[in-house]
């Protein structure tokens, strides 16, 4: 759902998003959501202490950074240049990592249970791809209706997701 929310927010920002844009976001988010559980599973019990000490801080920082940029952009005048491009590879990588860190914890849990991860990872990746792909077009429609207000909401939502991840891990 985090990747879907980011895709919706990205659909608001991207001017006239097309099939290529939706495929790009869906592929990045779907691939990361599929790979991270496998990496978590491979990390297993040995790296659990290292991962759980900072994964929530990484997700929190990345989501707050991107969400903060969206909030600032939403408060700019109409003629001002956008300061975030959700299609930039660096932004896509940051968002993909931030929204999929929890999936590594799922993989870690699977390793503790001695459960196979490949089938689950494929399902997670495919579902995330479909939801993220669709989210881009939902964001476009919502953005047309609500303009900059929805970009502000999207930024606040990303910061909120980051805070939620942090609180869940610290409590």
The mean pLDDT values, 10 residues at a time, for the chain of 171 residues are 84 87 95 94 72 73 78 69 76 88 79 84 96 92 73 80 84 80
Q: What is the pLDDT of residue 4?
A: 85
pLDDT at 49: 63
Distance of alpha carbon 84 from alpha carbon 67, whole angstroms: 10
Q: CA of 35: how far to CAs of 17, 61, 109, 152, 158, in Å?
A: 26, 21, 15, 31, 22
Which pLDDT value is given to residue 3?
Answer: 86
Domain locations in the chain as residue ranges:
2-170
d(Cα 103, Cα 37) in Å, to the nearest integer? 5
pLDDT at 82: 56
pLDDT recorded at residue 137: 93
pLDDT value of residue 78: 59
């Amino acid at each position: 759902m985090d990747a879907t929310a980011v895709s919706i927010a990205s659909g608001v920002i991207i001017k006239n998003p097309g099939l290529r844009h939706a495929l790009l976001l869906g592929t990045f988010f779907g691939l990361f959501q599929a790979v991270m559980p496998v990496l978590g599973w491979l990390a297993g019990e040995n790296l659990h202490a290292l991962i759980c000490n900072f994964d929530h801080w990484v997700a929190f920082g990345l989501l707050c950074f991107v969400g903060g940029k969206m909030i600032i952009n939403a408060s700019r005048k109409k003629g001002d240049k956008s300061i975030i491009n959700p299609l930039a590879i660096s932004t896509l990588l940051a968002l993909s990592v931030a929204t999929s860190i929890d999936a590594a914890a799922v993989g870690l849990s699977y390793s503790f249970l001695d459960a196979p991860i490949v089938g689950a990872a494929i399902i997670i990746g495919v579902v995330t791809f479909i939801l993220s792909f669709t989210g881009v077009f939902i964001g476009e429609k919502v953005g047309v209706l609500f303009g900059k207000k929805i970009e502000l909401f999207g930024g606040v939502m990303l910061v909120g997701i980051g805070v939620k991840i942090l609180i869940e891990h610290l409590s």
